[in-house]
Amino acid sequence: MTTEKQERYQQVLSTARQLAERDLDWVTFFREVLGIEGVVRKAFPTFDELCEFEKSDEYDAIQRILVKLREKKGTNDSDTEPTRVITVRLPKSMHEYLRTEAHDLRTSMNKLCISKLLQVVEQDMIPAEKSAPARRRATPAPQPVTQPAVSTTPPTPQPSQSTPSASNSPFTSSSNGVSPLKTNW
């Protein structure tokens, strides 16, 4: 490893240690050190640089600081940052395994899962998607469709229409004169 790279690694670890000495809660420490705008991402802006740093002893030391901060009693994560909820679909057997592991470790499933999420996962350990990756929408989300007003008066008889697409439309009258969109609720 080059001296310049080693100095950068040491500087990031030094900054993390200084922040930990300020007696921050773990969420604030995570945000300031490992978060999107944290010192690690700023020091290693490319994916390759970040992956390389995550294999270092310095990154391991930062992870250990984070664990110590998470062990502190009396810190409420939502005091410093709002929480978000995600739903993860997993097989029943995996859920049972996590539940048992949390019990064996005398911790909650939430703390266990957060601990697992904080660990580095090598890219080759993540299954590739079979389809193209999802893309963000360039246009706003579609607005809900408003239902047409339902008339209480019977429809006026119309001459038969010659285009087949019009007779198959859900917006045209059916043969019994009742609109197919009319509901009885």
**Are residues 83 and 51 in contact, defined by beta-carbon separation less than 8 angstroms?**
no
Q: Report whether pLDDT(112) > 80.
A: yes
Average pLDDT of the chain to the nearest whole number: 76
Phi, psi of 110 (to 5 degrees): -60, -50
pTM assigned to the model: 0.60
The pLDDT of residue 5 is 92
* CA atoms within 13 Å, Cβ hemisphere of 46: 3
Q: Report whether pLDDT(178) > 50.
A: no
Rg (CA), the chain: 29
**Are residues 87 and 98 in contact, defined by beta-carbon separation less than 8 angstroms?**
no
The pLDDT of residue 29 is 94
The pLDDT of residue 169 is 41
The pLDDT of residue 44 is 95
Q: Report whether pLDDT(181) > 50.
A: no
Comparing 7-16, 42-51, 134-143, the range with the smallest average pLDDT is 134-143
Winning range, highest mean pLDDT, from 86-90, 158-162, 175-179: 86-90
Kindly report, residue by residue over 47-102, the tens digit of the pLDDT.
899 999 999 999 999 999 999 998 886 555 556 788 889 899 989 998 998 999 99
Question: Tokens 């019994």 sit at which residue?
Answer: 176
CB neighbours (10 Å) of residue 26?
A: 21
Average pLDDT score over residue span 177-181: 44
Core vs surface per residue 119-148: b (16+ CB within 10 A) or e: eeeeeeeeeeeeeeeeeeeeeeeeeeeeee
CA 47 to chain centre: 19
The pLDDT of residue 81 is 80
